């Protein structure tokens, strides 16, 4: 059974590059473009991991992570923030809210895959 991952970002180029790379590694990939759609997809698919942007329309990544962590059905879901927000306070907030990793844009696709595989 292949691992499931949800990629949450409103930037099409980022989504396309990550989706291609994770599919190539055998992951079943689901896409969401905002926090609202992300939570619906994550709740429905119960993925092994989520790659989550912070600055998105409707509901931001911090709020989305809080919703994920509040749902007992998603307790085994690893969350990796991938964001342009690179201040120490943003990173600390993301990790305090329960993110397993916090990666900063611009990023290396190989690094993102490596970090996710390490978590799983």
Taking residue 28's Cβ as centre, other Cβ atoms within 10 Å add up to 15
Query: Hey, which bits of 1-120 come out as E strands?
Result: 4-8, 28-32, 49-52, 78-83, 101-104
Domain around 90: 4-119
Q: Tell me the pTM.
A: 0.96
pLDDT confidence bin for 2, thresholds 50/70/90? confident
Taking residue 120's Cβ as centre, other Cβ atoms within 10 Å add up to 10
The domain tally of the chain equals 1
pLDDT at 1: 67
Q: What does the alpha-carbon distance between residue 18 and residue 118 come to, in Å, rounded to a whole number?
A: 16
Look over the chain and give the mean of its residue pLDDT values, rounded to a whole number: 96
* CATH code where residue 24 lies: 3.40.50.2300
pLDDT surpassing 80 at residue 4: yes
């Amino acid at each position: 059974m292949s691992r499931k991952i949800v990629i949450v970002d409103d930037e099409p180029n980022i989504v396309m590059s990550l989706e291609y790379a994770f599919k190539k590694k055998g992951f079943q990939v689901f896409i969401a473009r905002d926090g609202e759609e992300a939570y619906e997809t994550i709740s429905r698919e119960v993925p092994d991991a989520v790659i989550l942007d912070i600055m998105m329309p409707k509901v931001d990544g911090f709020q989305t992570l809080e919703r994920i962590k509040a749902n007992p059905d998603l307790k085994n879901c690893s969350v990796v923030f991938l964001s342009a927000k690179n201040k120490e306070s943003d990173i600390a907030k993301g990790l305090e809210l329960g993110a397993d990793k916090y990666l900063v844009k611009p990023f290396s696709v190989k690094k993102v895959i490596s970090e996710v595989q390490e978590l799983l």
